[in-house]
Structure 1
Amino acid sequence: MTPVDVVLIGRNEGARLVAALESVQGQARHIVYVDSGSHDDSVAEARKIGATVVELDMSTPFTAARARNAGFDALDDPQLVMFIDGDCLLVDGFIDAGRRHLEAHPKVGMVTGWRSEIHRDASVYNQLCDWEWHRPAGIIDACGGDMLVRAAAWSGVGGMDPTVIAAEDDEFCTRLRKAGWVLERIPADMTQHDANMMRFGQWWSRAVRTGHGFAQVGHLHPEYFAKERKRVLVYGLALPLILLASFALAWWLPLILIGAYEFNYIRTAQGLIREGLPKSEAWRHALLLTLSKFPNLIGMAKFHLRRLRGDEMRLIEYK
């Protein structure tokens, strides 16, 4: 049976980290916790359960990719590595299911499963996260940071790019696919996540970070996030500019352009309903998804300004 190690990353997660550490005990050969400048008892709690602790030098800008790379590098003879975040609980049985799948399919370089929100109905923002996590099982292009990876696949592509501050997992998965590996989501519960996103401002910051990811990963892999970038440019930039200009042309023209947003909103809600969301949730989620093009645009602009100025790519936090 192929041994599995766990790399868990976090910063000031408090009780969430304690629960995460407890959830992985007994499910892995070796546990590495990578701490990114915590001011709470995170390091002490990790050492208490016997985890190897890596404390990142915070004089270098933190990214989740950098933390995961450091965790992998701290492992001794890794073969299969489960990466999870410090605000997640590992579901019993996923590692065994993922290991069996990888052992049976040598061309599969990484498997993921289903992530869900612990407090799904605490806010519409948590609900939206929960919907984002639950994608169909099967062959995939990319996934989030919770994943079970072959060490050979990880090392073969050089791990994650530490300069990518958002969607670093998408960027890593893209390089895995280009290297010839198959990626799969198996039909199994994997982790439970605690987004703890209760305020509009948190959601907005997260959407800005998402836009940064669209631009940065798209800059590295132009074919990836192409549709997402196009939608942002159309609804977040082009239509607002045309709308402003239309006021000088005819009083009725702005109404038609505003109707384009309404049409997009209705179409988005109907799509969510077809995917199985209750109608009441679908209409609320569609409003946020329609509005998200504006913070996404800010994030895209932020990346390109940083790139042109040669600035460091610093994390955009929402918690």
Structure 2
Amino acid sequence: MTESSVGVVVIGRNEGERLRACLASLSGAQARVYVDSGSTDGSVALARSLDFDVVELDMDQPFTAARARNTGIARLLRDHPTLEAVQTVDGDCEVRPDWMAVAQADMAVDPRRAVVFGRRRERRPDANAYHAACDDEWNVPIGEVNSCGGDALLRVVALREVGGYNDLLIAGEEPEMCVRLRARGWRIWSNGQEMTLHDVAITRLTQWWHRSRRTGYAFAELAALHGDGGDPGWRRLLRSALGWTAINIAAIVGVILFALLDDPLLRVVVLAPAALAGVQLLRMARSKRARIGGRHALQWSGLMMVAKAAQTLGWLRFKLQRITRARATLIEYKA
């Protein structure tokens, strides 16, 4: 696999200066496409000024990252039909200088590796607890894994075999495609090497809430789409979200009842859910102290509990839309 056999597809929507850093980090790529999903911040003009082939998605159709990537890959392969692999990059990520060469070498080791990806890092992990939590989220095991994220090197023949991403998914398109790849004997490989710098740009709890709600929606849709043939982790996440949301609601009700009841025994009983939630918070914080530091560990555990409630609402939204047959719309969290 040579440099000329790999192309790049960047997708974005109103990423501003994050997009500039992303595109600049890919200036050495010979075949490169930027796909824009209705930006109003000059992203299209910026990409053209940096000599990227630009595709503007039709605004009459719903925007999804899956649709953007598929469109970019199709354009890339139309103009460069001999490409063997495509590096996909989200527009809020800056690609590390050595990544492309490292990824190509790892893909060449095994002809059944359909996907190779590395370590995505937050640009400012110490900025706040949200950034620290996302940086930890990107820290996946090294070796063969079940799925990848938005930044990854994809083997073209494998993409063609499974038909690429599912255009209709508003989130979770990467793990969904990976399920289909693995079902056909392809492998997903995490090499742990420095890949991209990401800027999640979360500064408010409402942003974290919407991001977590999108996660719940995505995994509910994936579980419904693939059933028992899907990744067991999807259902585990949903069960955890539903269970801890129920416990936390019971904890709130219990604290209220504690203030109203006079019976000592009943007061102890109604506080049991709150005690369970408290123990879980401390347990989670302790498990992360070594990885993200004591400063953010307790905040992280609190954010995980908030995420459980948001994921539950995402699950409920999917169920409601399935019943009413309403069209899915993007759940966005960035300002």
TM-score in same-fold range (> 0.5): yes
Structure 1 243/50 Cα, relative in aligned 2: closer, same or farther at 3 Å?
A: closer
Pairwise mapping of residues 162-181 of structure 1 onto structure 2 (< 5 A)?
A: 162-181=167-186
Q: Quick one: distance in 1 between partners of 2:205 and 2:214?
A: 14
How many residue pairs were aligned? 317
Report the alpha carbon displacement of residue 245 of structure 1 after superposing the two structures with TM: 8.9
Q: Quick one: distance in 2 between partners of 1:245 and 1:310?
A: 37
Pairwise mapping of residues 289-304 of structure 1 onto structure 2 (< 5 A)?
A: 289-304=304-319
Higher helix share: 2
8 A Cα contact 2:254 2:274, kept in partner: no
8 A Cα contact 1:237 1:297, kept in partner: no
Task: Kindly report the root-mean-square deviation, in angstroms, between the aligned alpha carbons of the 2 structures.
Answer: 1.9
Give 2:198's match in structure 1, choosing from 182, 193, 197: 193
Give 1:17's match in structure 2, choosing from 16, 19, 30: 19
Partner of 1:220: 225
Q: Quick one: distance in 1 between partners of 2:251 and 2:181?
A: 40
Residue 283, structure 1, aligned to residue 288, structure 2:
no
Structure 1 220/117 Cα, relative in aligned 2: closer, same or farther at 3 Å?
A: same
Deviations 1:115-147 (A, max 9, x none): 111122222111111111122211111121100
Q: Quick one: distance in 2 between partners of 1:68 and 1:55?
A: 12
Which residue identity does 1:226 align to in structure 2?
A: R
Deviates more, 1:135-144 or 1:265-274: 265-274
Report the alpha carbon displacement of residue 244 of structure 1 after superposing the two structures with TM: 4.7
Q: Percent identity?
A: 38
Unmatched segments (≥5 aa) in structure 1: none
Match of 1:122, SS state, is coil
Give 2:163's match in structure 1, choosing from 158, 164, 175: 158
Residue 307, structure 1, aligned to residue 326, structure 2:
no
Q: Quick one: distance in 1 between partners of 2:281 and 2:254?
A: 23
Match of 1:313, SS state, is coil
Partner of 1:255: 271
Pairwise mapping of residues 229-268 of structure 1 onto structure 2 (< 5 A)?
A: 229-237=238-246, 240=249, 244=253, 250-268=266-284
Which residue identity does 1:95 align to in structure 2?
A: M
Residue 84, structure 1, aligned to residue 89, structure 2:
yes
Pairwise mapping of residues 25-104 of structure 1 onto structure 2 (< 5 A)?
A: 25-26=27-28, 28-75=29-76, 76-77=80-81, 78-104=83-109
Q: Quick one: distance in 1 between partners of 2:292 and 2:15?
A: 30
Which residue identity does 2:330 align to in structure 1?
A: L
Q: Quick one: distance in 1 between partners of 2:102 and 2:20?
A: 24
Residue 203, structure 1, aligned to residue 218, structure 2:
no
TM-score, scaled relative to structure 1: 0.94
8 A Cα contact 1:91 1:192, kept in partner: yes
Match of 2:267, SS state, is coil
Q: Quick one: distance in 1 between partners of 2:251 and 2:277?
A: 13
8 A Cα contact 2:213 2:314, kept in partner: yes
Over alpha carbons, which structure has the higher Rg?
A: 2
Deviations 1:58-96 (A, max 9, x none): 111111111001001101313100000111101111111
Report the alpha carbon displacement of residue 220 of structure 1 after superposing the two structures with TM: 1.6
Deviations 1:202-258 (A, max 9, x none): 111111111111211111233431110110111113663697599599332221111
Structure 1 203/243 Cα, relative in aligned 2: closer, same or farther at 3 Å?
A: closer
Match of 1:195, SS state, is coil
